[in-house]
């Protein structure tokens, strides 16, 4: 095993256990079609599969319409240059190739699987891939040594009519070029004027220098150095790929070449660049030391001799990481979506320029959360976007797709780029479209003051910070100011001038007012004045809820440090129910948005309560901009088999019939009737015009278990349960909730309060 680096945060045993448990490897396959009935089987395989077979036989491009080809990439290697470990064989490359597949799916929703080819002969490798190449929409070559990788990629590009992309070359080139564009922007240097030195003439280095020339760096201003010294015109024993970048230069060593240089690109080995070399560079030097796991020179060593340098490495524990995950998922996403025949130079340049442009924009709060709350801004320490920037999926691929269309390699042009961006947002995060709409409404409405009751908790502080930075309202943190500020500072946050309010309940000047008001409310319910005083002084839920009730705040979020029932009891002693109170969960799965009720309040609702749950859920869904279609779920189907719970549902239907409500509803029924139009064909009397989007469960246990089950299986994203029906909007998050969960709850609290206020 390789030697551990000083900053590594895991052991070898941790890495092995991660890859072994609970299932060996990092990838699996999930079907996209149901296999629940004989009809499903007949359609998926024999005899139904014969129909697309004949269609593709008549027109091979139909494979994009009837198979997974259009969203499928092969990650192929022979293991001759695995990471920085060398030639360890094709099977040793499999963990890396699986990891690449995971990144494709996680960051760009591209399906992929790995292929390890047992040969080191380039011609044999090309023959294997050529003969199986039509299976995929694209091919990502990986961990193939230089110079064979140049031959393999070039030949496959000519032989296949799909994108073939060697990420070790072009991924590094794209990201480092984006960083160079921005480093020059910061230092005021012009690409056409800078002197660039490349230390390391492998695949990544040569591709990087080539792409940098494409964006404006002049060939005569570049010097390339390999292990034998400077590559100059006329040098013996230089292969054709290195010779293409040779220049007329008197320099013969890396140290000589770096004197007065503006930029040095390190793609060689640890220690290749010295402090003395850095000291000899031009003012405001740009140093990309990208060897992994240890850079050619550390940022600490650079800082010891040059305070004016801009530094980037290949490591995640330093600023400005040159990380290929910023490139290959989005290159392929754009290429696949226009059915590109290849990834050409124009598409790579477009990707680099788009990444550079994105880094210059305001950094979203999701990135700050990923970096322990550290707010990142464009500058010397942030010249490349973070891999956690949620905008990458919808920002980068459109530029790649447009370049493919403009350069004539796209077979399926995109007609509406705005619609394409919207579609991309929803690929990785199924809740993105919903939350985008909710957040937009909240920002456009009058500012709401939101109480974050457990204000001393670090997760709550970070959520309040993100909420404020996203301009969703004014957070009010309840807690001791010194502890809140201490925890904020440890998280890398500075509250000064941000506009986040901090209120200490024990010393608040509203303490007596709140005690008087709450005592008057509770005095006939068994509470003495001293009890109420203690509640206001010591319990932030009582204090925060009273703030809302008295009009000093609009809504509230709690629940991080105590269970749902306890938090709800405390809030309910302060706030009255405006109408029927329910818990509504939002379930997002496979392009479908479902609202499930009641998931948190009514344990065994009777018929009247079921009807009111449906009315409240439908009203809430309408406020969220959807037309409600309510299905009452049950184990029975319209009376078969009979039972008490089924009868309660049938009675709820009769109650709604009598009330003449203004939304579609039907029941009782199992889930397949609510969600599958073909299943409903046997019941022509059903009143649902389309699939149901509001599912009313017969009891809290079925509601809670079903939503948690699909979430635990990774089959859906679940938001909530959202608390609906109190006189003031209060959301109770799960115990130990994440920053994202708290922010989502706060956003919904602000939205619900705004909609109610407008109503």
Angle between helices 644-659 and 607-623 (to 10 degrees): 60
For residue 400, what are its two tokens?
A: 């790649």
Can you tell me the distance from the alpha carbon of 459 to that of 436, in angstroms, rounded to the nearest whole number?
A: 22
CA distances (Å), origin 445, targets 440, 448, 624: 9, 8, 15
Q: What is the DSSP string of 154-176?
A: HHHHHH-SS-EEEHHHHHHHHHH
CA triplet 49, 51, 57: central angle to 5 degrees? 105
Residues with Cβ within 8 Å of residue 542, at least 6 apart in sequence? 518, 535, 536, 570, 573, 574
453 three-class SS: coil
For residue 356, what are its two tokens?
A: 């550079």
Q: Are strands 263-266 and 286-289 parallel, antiparallel or unpaired?
A: parallel
The catalytic residue among 45, 233, 275, 683 is: 45
213 classed as catalytic: no
For residue 418, what are its two tokens?
A: 């705005």
Can you tell me the distance from the alpha carbon of 163 to that of 438, in angstroms, rounded to the nearest whole number?
A: 38
The catalytic residue among 69, 94, 100, 348 is: 100
CA distances (Å), origin 451, targets 290, 416, 558, 563, 755: 45, 41, 8, 18, 18
CA distances (Å), origin 236, targets 88, 233, 242, 246: 30, 9, 11, 11
45 classed as catalytic: yes
Angle between helices 328-337 and 345-360 (to 10 degrees): 120
287 three-class SS: strand
For residue 520, what are its two tokens?
A: 């008057």
380: enclosing H helix or E strand: none
Instruction: Give me the active site residues, please.
Output: 45, 100
């Amino acid at each position: 095993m390789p030697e551990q680096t000083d900053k590594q945060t895991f052991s070898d045993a941790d890495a092995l256990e991660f890859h072994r448990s609970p299932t060996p490897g990092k990838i699996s396959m999930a079907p996209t079609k149901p296999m629940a009935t004989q009809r499903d089987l007949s359609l998926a395989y024999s005899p139904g599969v014969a129909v697309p077979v004949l269609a593709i036989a008549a027109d091979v491009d139909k494979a994009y319409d009837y198979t997974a080809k259009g969203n499928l990439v092969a990650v192929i290697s022979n293991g001759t240059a695995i990471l920085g470990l060398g030639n360890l064989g094709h099977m040793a490359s499999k963990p890396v190739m699986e990891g690449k597949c995971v990144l494709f799916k996680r960051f760009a929703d591209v399906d992929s699987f790995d292929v390890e080819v047992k040969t080191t002969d380039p011609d044999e490798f090309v023959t294997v891939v050529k003969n199986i190449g039509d299976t995929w929409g694209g091919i990502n070559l990986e961990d193939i040594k230089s110079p064979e990788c140049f031959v393999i990629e070039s030949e496959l590009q000519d032989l296949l009519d799909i994108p073939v992309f060697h990420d070790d070359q072009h991924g590094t080139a794209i990201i480092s070029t984006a960083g160079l564009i921005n480093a020059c922007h910061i230092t005021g240097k012009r690409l056409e004027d800078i002197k660039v030195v490349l230390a390391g003439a492998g695949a990544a280095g040569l591709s990087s220098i080539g792409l940098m020339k494409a964006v404006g760096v002049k060939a005569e201003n570049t010097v390339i150095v390999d292990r034998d010294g400077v590559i100059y015109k006329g040098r013996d024993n230089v292969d054709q790929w290195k010779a293409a970048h040779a220049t007329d230069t008197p320099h013969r060593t890396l140290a000589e070449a770096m004197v007065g240089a503006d930029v040095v690109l390190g793609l060689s080995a640890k220690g290749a660049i010295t402090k003395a070399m850095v000291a000899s560079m031009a003012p405001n030097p740009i140093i990309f030391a990208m060897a992994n796991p240890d850079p050619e020179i550390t940022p600490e060593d650079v800082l010891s001799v040059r305070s004016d340098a801009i530094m980037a490495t290949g490591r995640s524990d330093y600023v400005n990481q040159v990380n290929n995950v910023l490139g290959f998922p989005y290159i392929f996403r754009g290429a696949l979506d226009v059915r590109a025949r290849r990834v050409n130079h124009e598409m790579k340049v477009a990707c680099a320029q788009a990444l550079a442009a994105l880094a210059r924009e305001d950094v979203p709060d999701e990135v700050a959360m990923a970096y322990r709350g550290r707010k990142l801004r464009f500058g010397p320490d942030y010249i490349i976007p973070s891999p956690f920037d949620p905008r990458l999926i919808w920002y980068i691929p459109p530029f790649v797709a447009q370049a493919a269309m403009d350069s004539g390699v796209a077979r399926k042009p995109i007609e509406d780029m705005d619609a394409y961006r919207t579609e991309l947002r929803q690929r990785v995060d199924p809740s993105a479209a919903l939350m985008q709409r909710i957040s937009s409404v909240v920002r456009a409405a009058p500012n709401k003051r939101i109480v974050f009751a457990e204000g001393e908790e670090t997760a709550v502080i970070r959520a309040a910070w993100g909420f404020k930075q996203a301009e969703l309202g004014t957070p009010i943190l309840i807690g001791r100011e010194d502890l809140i500020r201490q925890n904020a500072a440890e998280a890398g946050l500075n509250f000064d001038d941000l506009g986040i309010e901090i209120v200490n309940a024990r010393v608040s000047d509203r303490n007596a007012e709140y005690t008087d008001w709450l005592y008057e409310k509770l005095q006939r319910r068994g509470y003495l004045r001293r009890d109420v005083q203690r509640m206001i002084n010591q319990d932030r839920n009582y204090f925060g809820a009273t703030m809302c009730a008295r009009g000093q705040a609009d809504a509230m979020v709690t629940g991080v440090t105590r269970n749902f029932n306890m938090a709800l009891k405390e809030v309910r002693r302060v706030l009255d129910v405006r109408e029927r109170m329910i818990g509504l969960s939002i379930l997002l799965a496979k392009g479908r948005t479902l609202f499930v009720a009641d998931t948190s309040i009514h344990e065994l609702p009777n018929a009247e309560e079921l009807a009111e749950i449906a009315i409240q859920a439908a009203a809430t869904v309408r406020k969220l901009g959807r037309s409600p279609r309510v299905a009452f779920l049950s184990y029975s189907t319209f009376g078969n088999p009979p039972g008490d719970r089924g009868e309660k549902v049938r009675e709820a239907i009769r109650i709604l019939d009598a009330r003449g409500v203004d939304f579609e509803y039907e029941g009782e029924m199992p889930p397949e009737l609510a969600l599958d139009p073909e299943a409903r064909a046997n019941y022509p009397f059903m009143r649902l015009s389309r699939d149901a989007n509001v599912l009313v469960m017969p009891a809290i246990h079925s509601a809670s278990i079903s939503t948690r089950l699909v979430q635990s299986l990774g089959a859906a994203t679940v938001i909530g349960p959202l608390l609906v029906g109190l006189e003031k909007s209060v959301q109770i998050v799960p115990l130990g909730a994440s920053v994202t969960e708290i922010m989502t709850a706060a956003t919904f609290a602000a939205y619900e309060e705004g909609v109610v206020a407008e109503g």
